[in-house]
Amino acid sequence: MRRLLLTTALIAGPFLAQAEDAALILGVERYERLDRVSRADNLLDSQEGLRSLGFAVQARANPRGDVAHDVAAAFAEDAETAERIVVALSGHFVTDGRRNWLLTAEAQDPRLFGMRAYALSVDSLLQVLAARPGQAILLLAPGDARDLDLSGPVLRPGLGALEIPQGLTVLRGDPSDVADFMENDLVEPSADLSVALEDRSDLVVAGFLMPGWSPMPAAIEAFPEDPETPDEDRLIAEAAAWDVAEADDDVDGYRAYIRAFPDGRFVDLAEERISAILDEPNRDARLAEEALSLSAGERRTVQRNLNVLDYNTRGIDGIFGPGTRQAVTNWQQSNGYPQTSYLTRGQINRLDAQAERRRAEIAAQEERERAEAERLDREYWAETGALGDEAGYRAYLSRYPEGLFADLAERRLAAIDSEREDAADLADRSAWGIADADDTVAAYEDYLAAWPDGVFAEEARARIARMQGPDVSDDEIATARAQEDRLQLSGVRAQLLELRLRDLGLSPGPLDGVIDDETRGALRRYQEGQGLPPKGYVDQATLVRLMAGATGR
């Protein structure tokens, strides 16, 4: 739609000598703390068209407060000698009902007092525009007010009523619609904007507008000027400033670079890094932990310490994944630290001290339990096996199959069995041999049916009792099995369990990662040695003791 009036260099000269018109374009699409305003920076696409009409254009995308005020000040200076003035603003706006502000990129929780730090006053710009009645245009493209949550009692999101000076034209619409109007209709040389606006139902017009209104000048053709090339000293200074910003790698450093070089080569990258830093709430804590350069061994120690203190890391592998981070967070909460999930050296030292104290407590408790279990073992032996009869031996072994006197009881029972076999008649011994070889409940029941008072009847009944159930209730076993299922003990984890049991001399069978009857037997022996119910499954109590290094009876 643009038409350039081609002129000769002789005609172009006088136009270039005249004072330029003035334009200010600010589009804030990317906010550091607030929701984005889609296509707000599209307004800047019109700046070249405005320059082709002789406008001195001050434009910035995503400016912060200090940059926005500097650019607005430069525009106000240009406007003092300008014939025509254009101001275009897009982004989040706030109002107190009478006054309005455009929020700049670093705005977070706007409050009435202190707005200058992160907002640009629309009312101040109205005063500049009022100086050119009939030749001034204000274009406003606010974001969706529903995307802006304010906590203060005075300000509300969006634009309030404007006190429009006489002769000022105000256009309002969505960012994409305002940008389209600016890039096409507004920069059309000598265009009748009253006609153009009749076809723009997407824009709301307020203030001055009259038929045949053509505020924009005819186009001028200026011979292309050589683009200004930064001198070597400035390039070196910019590179040095960027090196400093990267070395500091913080918000202040990147903002300092942008202030010094608002059109610099690394501005977009600096903006991205600022956003990334602000989006990571515990970044300083993460960097502090990384500076500790914890080895894999040190990380495993941290994980062991957390688990000893009942903060489950879901693995001890030297990798601080989600499980470990949650465990660290929970520990920090319990100890009055900020819940960052990242550790300092002081926190690591405190965690280590707490874990060592807890290990000592566990060891002392285990020793007390071991001594108590041994006392009860000896007392029960005195009441049963020490009497020297078969019933006593069997009663003892039923309660303490891995007890202090289990080997002795088994040897004496073997001797009794031998004597019984010698005394048994041939038929009885033959029937028992068949049942013993079969070694099933049915076989022993068949033997008892035939020989209810046989030499081996008591032994048959004892074996049936052992085969038909543990001393632990079914509910206890079901609970332990459910706890073990949640631990997902298979493959490498199961092999680690088997290796631990083997190191304790408990004979878990092959180290094949399969938890079978031999493994369960080893677990029961370990649990009995720890004074725990011999369930044969890895419940929470068994896991804590295994990880804490408990060594059995």
Give burial (CB, 10 Å; 0-12/13-18/19+) of 104. Answer: buried
> What percentage of the chain carries pLDDT values higher than 90?
47
Average pLDDT score, the chain:
86
Is the pLDDT reported for residue 272 higher than 80?
Answer: yes
- More confident of the two residues 118 and 439: 118
- The fraction of the chain above a pLDDT of 70, given in percent, is 91
Question: Tell me, what's the pLDDT at 348?
Answer: 96
Cα 328 → chain centroid: 14
For 274-303, the pLDDT digits (tens) are 878 877 888 889 999 999 999 999 999 999
Whole-number pLDDT of residue 301: 96
**Which region among 150-159, 165-174, 239-248, 331-340 has the lowest average model confidence (pLDDT)?**
150-159
Element (H, E) at 205: strand 204-207
Position 203 scores a pLDDT of 94
Question: Where does the pLDDT of residue 439 fall: very low under 50, low under 70, confident under 90, or very high at 90 and above?
Answer: low
Mean pLDDT of 38-48: 93
pLDDT at 226: 52
For residue range 347-385, list pLDDT tens digits in order: 999 999 999 999 999 999 999 999 999 999 999 999 998
User: Of residues 541 and 13, which shows the higher confidence score?
Assistant: 541
- For the segment 140-146, the average pLDDT, to the nearest whole number, is 93
Q: What pLDDT does residue 232 have?
A: 83
Fold exhibited by the domain 474-548: Muramoyl-pentapeptide Carboxypeptidase; domain 1 (1.10.101)
What is the arithmetic mean of pLDDT over 126-143? 95
The H or E element spanning position 23 is strand 21-27
Q: Quick one: average pLDDT of 107-118?
A: 82
Report, as an integer, the average pLDDT of 400-420: 90
What pLDDT sits at residue 9? 30
CA–CA dist 211, 169 (Å, integer):
13
Q: Strands of 93-95's sheet, edge to edge? A: 119-121, 100-103, 93-95, 156-157
- Helix H or strand E segment including 348: helix 345-383
Question: What DSSP string runs through 57-91?
Answer: EEEEES--HHHHHHHHHHHHHHHTT-S-EEEEEEE
Can you give the pLDDT at residue 527? 84
Q: What is the pLDDT of residues 19-28, one digit of tens each?
A: 589 999 999 9
**Rounded-to-integer distance, Cα 305 and Cα 93, Å:** 52
Residue 469: per-residue pLDDT: 53
Average the pLDDT over 31-57 and give the result.
92
170-174, 227-231, 449-453, range with greatest mean pLDDT: 170-174
Which of 97-101, 230-234, 451-455 has the highest average model confidence (pLDDT)?
97-101
pLDDT band at 229 (very low <50, low <70, confident <90, very high): low
CB 173 within 8 A of CB 141: yes
Mean pLDDT of 436-441: 75
Range of weakest confidence among 104-118, 216-230, 402-416: 216-230
Examine the pLDDT at 29 and tell me if it is beyond 70: yes
Better-scored residue on pLDDT, 25 or 256: 25
User: What is the structure's pLDDT at 19?
Assistant: 52
Q: Are strands 93-95 and 100-103 parallel, antiparallel or unpaired?
A: antiparallel
Cβ neighbours of residue 428 closer than 8 Å, sequence gap 6 or more: 451, 454, 455, 456
- The pLDDT of residue 314 is above 80: yes
- pLDDT at residue 471 in the model: 62
Predicted pLDDT of residue 468: 60
> How much is the pLDDT for 10?
29
pLDDT, position 472: 65
Q: Residue ranges of the domains in the chain?
A: 9-207, 232-279, 285-359, 371-467, 474-548
331 in Cβ contact with 343 (< 8 Å): no
CATH of 9-207, one of 3.40.50.1460, 3.20.20.220, 1.20.120.640, 1.10.520.10: 3.40.50.1460
